[in-house]
Structures are given as structure tokens and as C-alpha cells.
Amino acid sequence: MFVWSCLRPEEGINKAEMFLPPDTNTKERRRFDLDDLRVYYLICEELGIAEEEHIQKSFYYLMKWAGQDKFSGEVGLLRNYIMRIKKERKDRSSEWDVLMM
């Protein structure tokens, strides 16, 4: 289950909406999961980690598991890893900014 925050004051929409993905083990869910995976891959490319062997293996298996129950748990591990890398880089960048003052 996903929560989207719909903040479009110009349209009078300012609320959180619940968005449920399609049922597992369906073509629609597989497409849904693969679309999410594309976004994660773009983020990995942006971070420069898309070609790392363990990332490539993760994407290989996640593509196989798209649409299945195990996809959600495994993609969560990838998401956590990506977030950790982003945080580490942001912290390093902040440290560098302080040193440059």
C-alpha cells in the first residue's frame, strides 16, 4: 500500500490519498513493479552505482520477481541501500561545505 501526497492548491487538492497497487501475480502488477524498478535504476545511474555488480544482481532478480509477493520486500532492501548512499553523500557534501568556509 502506498500513500501519495496530493498537494495541488491550484486545483483545491491538499490531502493524502491511499493508492493500492494491483493484485500480485497479475500482468498489471508486473508492469507496476517494473515501472518502479525503472525509477530506482535511474536513481542508481544518477548516483553512479548502477554498474556495480551487487546492484546489477539486485536488478536481475528484482526483474524476475516483479509482480510477485517477494518483490516488495526485496525492492525495500534496494530502496534502503539507495537512501543510505544518498544520505552518506549528502553528509559528505555538507562536511566539505563546512571545511570550505
Q: What residue ranges do the domains of the chain occupy?
A: 22-99
pLDDT attached to residue 93: 80
* Interacting residues of 39 by C-beta distance below 8 A, sequence separation 6+: none
- Residues 43, 80: Cα–Cα separation, whole Å: 13
C-alpha cell at 23: 493484485
Q: Are 99 and 92 spatial neighbours (Cβ–Cβ below 8 Å)?
A: no
The band of 3, judged by pLDDT with boundaries at 50, 70 and 90, is very low
What is the mean predicted confidence (pLDDT) over 48-67? Answer: 97
pLDDT attached to residue 12: 56
- Residues 25, 64: Cα–Cα separation, whole Å: 12
Residues in the chain: 101
- Residues 74, 68: Cα–Cα separation, whole Å: 11
What is the mean predicted confidence (pLDDT) over 12-26? Answer: 75
